[in-house]
Amino acid sequence: MSDYPVLAGATATRKEQSRASAQLGRVRSTRSQRQAAVMAEAQRRREGEEWEEQGGAEETEAPKEEAPKEAPKEAPKEAPKEELKEAQKEAQKEAQKEAPKEEAQKEAPKEELKEAPKEELKEAPKEEAQKEAQKEAQKEAPKEELKEELKEAPKEELKEAPKEELKEAQTEAPQTPTRPLLATRSTSSADPDDDSPNMIVYRKIEDIVTRIQDETEGVPIRTVKSFMTKIPSVVTGEECEGTDIVQWLMKNLSMDDPAEAMHIGSLIAAQGYFFPISDHVLCLKDDGTFYRFQAPYFWPSNCWEPENTDYAIYLCKRTMQNKTRLELADYEAENLARLQRAFARKWEFIYMQAEAQVKIDRKKDKTERKILDSQERAFWDVHRPVPGCVNTTEMDIRKCRRMKNPHRVKKSVYGLAEEGTQSHSPVHTPSHHSRKGTREDVEKEILFLNTQLDRHCMKMSKVAESLISYTEQYMEYDPFMTSPEPSNPWTSDDPTFWDLEASKEPSQQRVKKWAFSLEEALKDPAGHELFLKFLESEFSSENLRFWLAVQDLKRVPQQEVAQRAQDIWAEFLAEGAPSSINLDSHSYERASHNLKDPGRYCYEDAQDHIYKLMKSDSYTRFLRSNVYQDLLMARKKPETEQGRRTSLEKFTRSVGKSLTGKRLTGLMQSS
Amino acid sequence: MGEMEQLRKEADALKDQITAARKAVQDTTLEEAAAGVAVVGRVQMKTRKTLRGHLAKIYAMHWATDSKLCVSASQDGKLIVWDSITTNKVNAIPLKSSWVMTCAYAPSGNLVACGGLDNMCSIYNLKGKDGNVKVMRELAAHTGYLSCCRFISDTEIITSSGDCTCILWDIETGTQKTSFAGHQGDCMSLAVSPDFSYFISGACDFTAKLWDIRDGNCRQTFAGHESDINAIGFFPNGQAVITGSDDATCKLYDLRADQELITYQDSSIMCGVTSLAPSLSGRLILAGYDDFNVNIWDSLKAERVGALAGHDNRVSCIGVSADGMACCTGSWDSFLKIWN
pLDDT tens for chain B, residues 1 to 340: 688 888 889 989 999 999 999 999 999 999 999 999 999 999 999 999 999 999 999 999 999 999 999 999 999 999 999 999 999 999 999 999 999 999 999 999 999 999 999 999 999 999 988 888 999 999 999 999 999 999 999 999 999 999 999 999 999 999 999 999 999 999 999 999 999 999 999 999 999 999 999 899 999 999 999 999 999 999 999 999 999 999 999 999 999 999 999 999 998 899 999 999 999 999 999 999 999 999 999 999 999 999 999 999 999 999 999 999 999 999 999 999 999 8
CA distance B271 to chain A (A): 6
- Which residues touch A603 (CB under 8 Å, ≥6 apart)? A550, A553, A565, A568, A591, A594
In CATH, the number for domain B48-339 is 2.130.10.10
Of A432, A455, A475, which is closest to B281 when you measure between CB atoms?
A475
What DSSP letter does each residue of B157-216 carry, written as one string?
EEEEETTSEEEEEETTTTEEEEEEE--SS-EEEEEE-TTSSEEEEEETTS-EEEEETTT-
| B256: nearest CB among A84, A458, A480 | A458
Distance of alpha carbon A636 from alpha carbon B295, whole angstroms? 39
User: What number of other Cβ atoms are within 10 A of residue A331's Cβ?
Assistant: 17
Answer whether B137's CB lies under 8 Å from B150's CB.
no
Instruction: Measure CA B200 to chain center.
Output: 9
Interchain pair A460, B261: CB under 8 A: yes
What is the Cα–Cα distance from A591 to A613, expressed in whole angstroms?
A: 17
Q: Please list every residue in chain A whose beta carbon sits closer than 8 Å to the beta carbon of residue B111.
A: none
Round to whole Å and give the CA distance between B190 and B161. 10
Alpha carbon A77 to its chain centroid, in Å, reads 26
Which residues share a beta bridge with B176?
A: B169
In angstroms, the CA A319 to CA A317 distance is: 5
- With contact defined as beta carbons under 8 Å apart, do B33 and A461 qualify? yes
Nearest residue, CB atoms, B270 vs list A102, A204, A461: A204
Tell me B227's DSSP state.
S
Residues of A within 8 A of B17 (CB-CB) are 453
Helices then strands, each counted (H, E), chain A: 32, 3
Check B283 against A201: CB less than 8 A apart: no
pLDDT digits (tens, 9 = 90+) for A395-435: 888 888 666 555 455 677 887 765 444 444 444 444 444 44
Q: Cα distance from B63 to chain A (closest Cα, Å)?
A: 15
The C-alpha atoms of residue A104 and residue B36 are separated, in whole angstroms, by 61
Number of Cβ within 10 Å of residue B17's Cβ equals 14
Amino acid type, B158? I
Q: Identify whether the C-beta of residue B222 lies closer than 8 Å to the C-beta of residue B183.
A: no
DSSP assignments along A238-284, one per residue: -EEEHHHHHHHHHHHTT-S-HHHHHHHHHHHHHTTSEEETT-SS---
| Measured distance CA(A64)–CA(A82) in Å, rounded | 20
Name beta bridge partners: B200: B191, B210
Q: Give residues 35 to 94 of B whose Cβ lies within 8 Å of A.
A: 37, 40, 43, 45, 48, 55-57, 67, 75-77, 85
CB A306 within 8 A of CB A413: yes
The separation between CA B36 and the C-alpha centre of its own chain, rounded to angstroms, equals 31
Strands B134-140 and B120-125: antiparallel
Residue count of chain B, please give it: 340
Contact (Cβ atoms closer than 8 angstroms) between residue A1 and residue A54: no
Chain A residue nearest residue B10, CA to CA: A446
Per CB-CB distance under 8 Å, the chain A contacts of B221 are 448, 452
Please check whether residue B260 touches A, CB under 8 A. no
CA B210 – CA B90 distance, rounded (Å): 35
- How far apart CA B24 and CA A457 sit, in angstroms, is 9
Reported ipTM: the value is 0.95
Q: Over the stretch A113-164, which tens digit does the pLDDT of each residue have? A: 343 334 433 333 344 444 444 444 444 444 444 344 334 433 333 333 333 4
Q: Which residues of B touch A490 (CB under 8 A)?
A: 48, 85, 325-326, 338, 340
Q: What is the pTM of this model?
A: 0.76
On whether any CB of chain A is under 8 Å from the CB of B271, the answer is yes
Which pLDDT value is given to residue A409?
53
Task: State residue A192's pLDDT score.
Answer: 54
pLDDT for the residue A394: 85
Q: Inter-chain contact B33–A460, Cβ cutoff 8 Å?
A: yes
- Which of A404, A447, A405 lies closest to B182 in space, CA to CA? A447
- pLDDT score for A177: 35
**Chain B: nearest CA to A387, how far in angstroms?**
13
**CA–CA separation, B84 and B86 (whole Å):** 6
Query: What are phi and psi for residue B249, nearest 5 degrees?
Result: -120, 160
pLDDT in the model for residue A424: 40
The Cα of B96 is separated from the nearest Cα of chain A by a number of Å equal to 6
Which residue in the set B186, B214, B272 is minimally distant from A398, CB to CB?
Answer: B186
Enumerate residues 6+ apart whose C-beta is below 8 A from A375.
A180, A181, A234, A275, A292, A294, A295, A298
Mark the ranges of chain A whose per-residue pLDDT is less than 70.
Answer: 1-194, 222-238, 324-326, 401-410, 417-437, 635-671
Q: Select the residue from B143, B172, B228, B262 to test the A interface by mutation, using most A Cβ atoms within 10 A.
A: B228
Residue A240: predicted pLDDT: 82
Question: How many contacts, defined by CB atoms under 8 Å, are there between A and B?
Answer: 265
The separation between the first and the last C-alpha atoms of chain A, rounded to the nearest angstrom, is 97
Cα separation, A185 vs B87, whole angstroms: 51
| CA B93 to chain CA centroid, nearest Å | 23
B281 contacts in A (CB within 8 Å)? Answer: 470-471, 473-475, 477-478, 481
Q: What is the DSSP letter of A8?
A: -
Q: What are phi and psi of B7, to 5 degrees?
A: -60, -45
Q: Which of B19, B76, B270, B313 to mutate to test the interface with A (most CBs of A within 10 A)?
A: B270
Compute chain A's Rg from CA coordinates: 37
Q: What is the dihedral of CA A410, A416, A418, A423, to 10 degrees?
A: -30
Q: Distance between CA atoms of A364 and A177, rounded to whole angstroms?
A: 8
Q: Which residues contact A620 (CB under 8 A, 6 or more apart)?
A: none
CB-based contact A78 B118, cutoff 8 Å: yes
Whether chain A has a CB inside 8 Å of the CB on B283: the answer is yes
Residue ranges of the domains in chain B? Answer: 48-339
Helices then strands, counting H and E runs in chain B, come out as: 2, 28
Residue A162's identity, in one-letter code, is P
Locate the chain A residue with the closest alpha carbon to B270.
A201
Are the beta carbons of A453 and B26 separated by less than 8 Å? no
- Closest by alpha carbon to B289, among A200, A100, A580, A225? A200
Tell me whether B111 touches chain A (CB under 8 Å). Answer: no
B9–A contact, CB cutoff 8 A: no
